[in-house]
Structure formats: structure tokens, C-alpha cells
């Protein structure tokens, strides 16, 4: 998908199923998501070895696993995430986002999915980790560690991972859908009002969350095993191997099992 430029999708065979979904009398988030998933299968397959996307997921594993040790701040500082003098959850989120952005500049953003993964992990950290701490503007680093530690169980990390993949899928599909959605807005078209767009986006979010269910148990088990095996220092290469399998699974689920 990295070679797709902003603007309308080209009227080529590649995007036939997407246009067919838009032109349907009964456009749904599910049919559009499946059409986009099938149309971008080649691009999605190429992500299985993408280091930048794996890195974003690795950041999640690093923060959560480090919280389960007596050296939370030292571990995060050692990889480049600033924790000293953090006085709020918002400041912590900003520090993590800055670390990811700087790191991806060094690794290289290979395609649009790299940026989508970056936004997805930032959203997941803000929405999940900070939700579990006491106050977005008054959280100490100790509170953040406790919040992250509560996510280190197999079940809770599975839920966290599901949120990341849900955000990633939603943003990936929206990236393509937004190129054509406005062209199907209006009376007698698939979506008549701006309110319909909001409803459609909510439906898309729900569908992506449901499709991500398949990865929940698997990721929780993988995290628990790797955290124990590496003494809470999961390497990037391990996250890369996990992502290769996980992306295949969620894309198959998203496309109706026809990946």
C-alpha cells in the first residue's frame, strides 16, 4: 500500500471489488473491509517481515514486560524511552511517541503501514495504559508502572494486543476507504449524510475489533512465554516473528477467511 498516493483509487482490476462494494445498494463496513483486504493482499503479505511495524509492537511488549520487574524506569531508559521526571500520563505518552518516531526515522518507514502502526501503538498506549492509571494529568511514573504491570498477565496482554491490531486494521482500511468515501456521499448514494459517515466509521471500528478477536488468546500466550523465557526482555526479532504470523491470521479473518 506504500505506493498508493493520495487521491482517488485508479479504475483498475486491482480495485474492482472495492468499487463494487461502494456501488452496492447495501454498503456495510464488513463488505467494504473484506473487499479492501482482498485488494491489498499482496501489500499486506509484504508486511510480514517489516521491521518498522514489528518495532511498534515490540514497544508495547517492552513497556508491559518492564513493568513486571523492579527496574521499570531503568529498562525503559536503556532502550531510549525517557521516564525521569515524568509527572503525568500525558507526558509519558508523549515520550513514548517521540521515541517511536525517532526510532522509525532510523529504521526507515517502508510504507504507509509504518505510519499506521505508529499511530496505532500511540493510540493503544494512550487509551489502554492511561485508562488504567489514576489521572491523565496527575499520574506518577509509579502509577504508570502499576497500570502497565496489570497488563502483564496472559489475559490482559491478549486484550491489549487485540486493541493494537484492531486500531491497526481500522486505520489501514480507512486509509483506502477515505480515498473514495466522499465520492459516494449524497442523496441516492451509499452514504447520504455526514452522520452516515460517522455511523459507518463506528461500524468499521466494531468490525475490526471483532476480527481481532482471533489474535487475543494467541498473543497473550506468546507474550507470557517470551517474557518468562527472556526474563522480561523480549527481543525485537521475537516480536518480528510473532507479527509475521499474527498479520496473516488477522488478515484472513478480516477478508472472510480467504486470504
- What domain range is 205 assigned to? 20-254
Whether 5 is in a domain gets the answer no
Residue 7 lies inside a defined structural domain of this protein: no
**pLDDT band, very low/low/confident/very high, at 63 (cuts 50, 70, 90):** very high
Q: What secondary structure letter does DSSP report for 128?
A: I
The pTM score is 0.87
Q: Residue 259: inside a domain, yes or no?
A: no
* Burial status of residue 104 (CB atoms within 10 A of its CB: 0-12, 13-18, 19 or more): buried
How many folded domains does the chain comprise? 1
Between helix 213-229 and helix 236-254 the angle, nearest 10°, is 170
Alpha helices in the chain (DSSP H): 16-22, 29-39, 41-45, 51-66, 72-79, 89-107, 112-124, 130-132, 141-149, 154-177, 194-211, 213-229, 236-254
Residue 233 domain-assigned (yes or no): yes
pLDDT on residue 225: 96
Q: Are 75 and 139 in contact (CB under 8 A)?
A: no
Query: Exposed/middle/buried for 229, CB within 10 Å: 0-12, 13-18, 19+?
Result: exposed
Which phi and psi angles does 106 have, rounded to 5°? -75, -40
Output the average pLDDT for the chain: 84
Q: Does position 46 have pLDDT exceeding 80, yes or no?
A: no
Over residues 137-150, mean pLDDT: 82
In a domain, 118, yes or no: yes
Half-sphere exposure of 195 (CA within 13 A, CB side): 1
Domain assignment present for residue 63? The answer is: yes
CA 190 distance to own-chain centroid: 28
Question: CB-hemisphere CA count at 13 Å for 120?
Answer: 33
Rg (CA), the chain: 19
Q: Does the structure show a pLDDT above 90 at 147?
A: no
pLDDT for position 138: 60
* Position 4 in a domain: no
Amino acid at each position: 500500500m506504500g505506493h498508493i498516493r493520495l487521491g482517488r483509487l485508479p479504475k483498475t482490476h486491482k480495485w474492482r471489488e472495492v468499487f463494487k462494494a461502494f456501488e452496492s445498494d447495501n454498503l456495510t463496513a464488513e463488505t467494504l473491509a473484506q473487499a479492501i483486504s482482498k485488494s491489498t493482499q499482496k501489500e499486506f503479505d509484504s508486511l510480514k517481515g517489516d521491521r518498522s511495524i514489528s518495532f511498534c509492537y515490540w514497544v508495547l511488549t517492552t513497556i508491559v514486560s518492564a513493568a513486571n520487574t523492579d527496574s521499570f524506569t531503568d529498562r525503559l531508559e536503556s532502550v531510549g524511552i525517557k521516564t525521569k521526571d515524568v509527572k503525568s500520563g500525558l507526558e509519558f505518552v508523549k515520550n513514548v511517541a517521540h521515541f517511536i518516531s525517532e526510532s522509525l526515522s532510523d529504521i526507515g518507514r517502508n510504507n504507509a503501514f509504518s505510519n499506521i502502526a505508529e499511530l496505532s501503538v500511540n493510540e493503544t498506549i494512550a487509551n489502554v495504559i492511561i485508562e488504567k492509571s489514576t489521572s491523565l494529568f496527575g499520574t506518577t511514573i509509579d502509577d504508570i508502572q502499576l497500570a502497565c504491570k496489570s497488563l502483564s498477565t496472559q489475559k490482559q496482554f491478549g486484550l491489549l494486543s487485540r486493541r493494537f491490531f484492531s486500531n491497526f486494521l481500522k486505520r489501514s482500511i480507512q486509509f483506502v476507504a477515505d480515498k473514495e468515501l466522499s465520492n459516494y456521499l449524497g442523496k441516492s448514494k451509499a452514504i447520504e449524510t455526514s452522520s452516515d459517515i460517522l455511523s459507518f466509521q463506528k461500524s468499521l471500528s466494531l468490525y475490526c475489533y471483532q476480527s481481532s478477536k482471533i489474535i487475543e488468546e494467541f498473543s497473550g500466550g506468546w507474550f507470557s512465554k517470551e517474557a518468562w523465557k527472556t526474563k522480561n526482555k523480549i527481543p525485537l526479532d521475537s516480536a518480528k516473528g510473532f507479527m509475521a504470523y499474527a498479520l496473516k491470521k488477522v488478515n484472513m479473518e478480516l477478508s472472510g477467511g480467504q486470504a
